[in-house]
Amino acid sequence: MKSFFTDQEKKFFKNYYQKGYCIFDVKNLDSLNFIKNNIKKLIFNENKKIKIKENDPFNYLHHFVKTKNINNFRLNIIKNLNKLKDLRYHYYKVSSPYIEMISGNELVMQKNINLSIQMPKDDESLLDVHADTWSGDSAYETVVWIPLVNCKDTKSMFILPANKYKNFTKMTYKKNIGDTQKLFNFLKKDFEWIDIKFGQVLLFNQTLPHGNIVNKSKETRFSMNCRFKSIFAPYGDKKIGEFFEPITLRPASKIGMEYALPKFRSK
- The identity of residue 69, as a single letter, is N
- The identity of residue 55, as a single letter, is N
| Residues constituting the chain | 267
Q: How far apart are CA 186 and CA 177, in angstroms?
A: 8
Output phi, psi for 8, to 5 deg.
-65, -40
pLDDT, position 266 = 80
142 in Cβ contact with 108 (< 8 Å):
no
Q: How far apart are CA 184 and CA 211, in angstroms?
A: 9
pLDDT in tens, 207-257: 999 999 999 999 999 999 999 999 999 999 999 999 999 999 999 999 999
pLDDT, position 265 = 85
Output phi, psi for 252, to 5 deg.
-60, -35
pLDDT in tens, 34-68: 999 999 999 988 887 776 555 678 999 999 999 99
Q: Can you tell me the mean pLDDT for 123-142?
A: 94
Radius of gyration for the chain, computed over Cα atoms and rounded to the nearest angstrom: 21
159 in Cβ contact with 196 (< 8 Å):
no
pLDDT in tens, 68-90: 999 999 999 999 999 999 999 99
- The answer to whether residue 149 scores a pLDDT higher than 60 is yes
Q: Which of 153, 202, 168, 178 is nearest to 20 (CA)?
A: 202
pLDDT, position 264 = 87
pTM of the model: 0.93
Q: How far apart are CA 83 and CA 91, in angstroms?
A: 14
- The identity of residue 257, as a single letter, is M
